[in-house]
Amino acid sequence: MYNQNLLSRFEIYLAAERRVSSNTVIAYKTDLMQFAHFLSRITSQKTLTAATMHDVRDWIMSLVKEALNTCSINRKIAALRTFYTFLQKKELMVDRPTDGLKSLKVKKRLPIFFQEKELLSFLNQYVFPVNFSGFRDKLILEMVYGTGIRLNELLSLHITDINLINRTIKVLGKRNKERLIPFLQPLKQMIETYLSQKEALGYSSIKELFITDRGKPCYPMLIYRIIKKHLATNIQAGRHSPHIFRHTFATHLLNNGASLLSIKYLLGHSSLMATQHYTHVDVTRLKKAFQDAHPRA
């Protein structure tokens, strides 16, 4: 049905060369196994490497008929594109059956973000425990809001990526693209306090910046739990996650006059179109802009 060795090589390619998150690796592998199962229903001899453009399109159409979420279908399309690009790069396949395949149109939704006054009030007044986990949790919240970095980028940070003198963080983002993100003086002080706590516990030799109470590198679910633990009862929002902080970072910068090009760089977007997602404005700001700018107002 599918070649386990081939999928294992693909997993290594995703993690080492594409540097995607562990969640994406798992999702793409699951998608490929589902496609392989679909092919096996056509004929037992049909494998992933023998799939045609018609096979791919038939599978996508079957998912549409099952009323699967459009975003989920597009993720599966992305998984197939990436897999067949991998096969072509490794000279395991000449033509890709995904060539010409387009993603389904998705209804655009405005990004969810925390309100500026509410979030700043929380960060300024909330009392974290005066211990290692408290210092770590506060730094995590301040860093995701103060830099807008992705969850995987946060977990990949090493102590050597932090330049306290220049107040910059070196981030290795998607497709191995490196960028420098500046941070403010208050965040510098929090990093210094956290590092001293980390050293006091005997964990200074651990290269990862963020670690658990037991000295192990932090993992995605822990970051989700930390954010939900501190914010759920204090910040009104539909969701509480690291990515909401990323949306909030971009939205607050834009609302306070930062250019789209600057935000594009800070977020590590490869295209300005992705950054334009944040050009929404609330009704209050829209009314004020109208009142301030229109000659008849």
Region at 102 (left for phi over 0; alpha for psi -120 to 50; beta for the rest): beta
96, 240, 247, 269: the catalytic one is 269
13, 28, 145, 278: the catalytic one is 278
158, 228, 229, 243: the catalytic one is 243
In angstroms, the Cα distances linking 221 to 72, 152, 172, 218, 227 are 21, 11, 21, 9, 10
Is 240 in the active site? no
29, 76, 150, 230: the catalytic one is 150
In angstroms, the Cα distances linking 131 to 108, 127, 146, 198, 225 are 43, 12, 22, 10, 18
9, 19, 75, 174: the catalytic one is 174
End-to-end CA distance of the chain: 68
Is 75 in the active site? no
CA distance 210 to 293: 47
Is 107 in the active site? no
Convert 197-214 into a string of H (helix), E (strand) and C (coil). Answer: HHHHCCCCCCCECCECCC
Is 278 in the active site? yes
CA distance 179 to 185: 20
Is 37 in the active site? no
In angstroms, how far apart are the furthest CA atoms of the chain? 72
Is 219 in the active site? no
136, 138, 198, 246: the catalytic one is 246
Convert 133-193 into a string of H (helix), E (strand) and C (coil). Answer: HHHHHHHHHHHHHHHCCCHHHHHHCEHHHEECCCCEEEEECHHHCEEEEECCHHHHHHHHH
Q: Which residues of 15-43 are buried (b: 16+ CB within 10 A; e: fewer)?
A: eeebbbbeebbebbbebbeebbebbeeee
Catalytic residue numbers read 150, 174, 243, 246, 269, 278
